[in-house]
Amino acid sequence: MDERRVLSGIVFVNRNGLRWFDASKDYGPHKTLDNRWKRWSDRGVFLRLMEGLASAETVPKNGHDRCHLPEGAPHRIKPANYKDPMGAGWRW
């Protein structure tokens, strides 16, 4: 079983609040996902993963990951010919 695929399945299930049984078969058998989650959690794998992601070496110097955009650029840049499918003025 490909460990990367299993890890992707575990992340997918947890991110979406699903049951292991609801995971796509592309991630492997649901019992494998459940067993690896338990085993890796007991060994502290996910804790170390989160600590590594939050470490100072992985945080951009300016505090966000929009380094490729010009200073002051909006979060979403729409093309000039963008037409809102919900119509002008629609608010969620």
Percentage of residues in the chain having pLDDT higher than 70:
60
Report the pLDDT averaged over residues 7-26: 93
pLDDT of residue 50: 85
Mean of per-residue pLDDT scores for the chain: 78
- DSSP tag of 69: S
Q: For residues 39-73, b (16+ Cβ closer than 10 Å) or e, as one string? A: ebeeeeeeeeeeeeeeeeeeeeeeeeeeeeeeeee
- Return the higher-pLDDT residue of 19 and 91: 19
The DSSP H or E segment spanning 41 is: helix 30-42
Report the pLDDT averaged over residues 61-70: 58
Burial of 3 (0-12, 13-18, 19+ CB in 10 A): exposed
| Whether pTM exceeds 0.75 | no
pLDDT of residue 84: 63
Question: Domain locations in the chain?
Answer: 3-58
Query: At CB < 8 A and 24+ separation, what contacts does 77-84 make?
Result: none
pLDDT of residue 52: 84
Type of residue numbered 67:
C
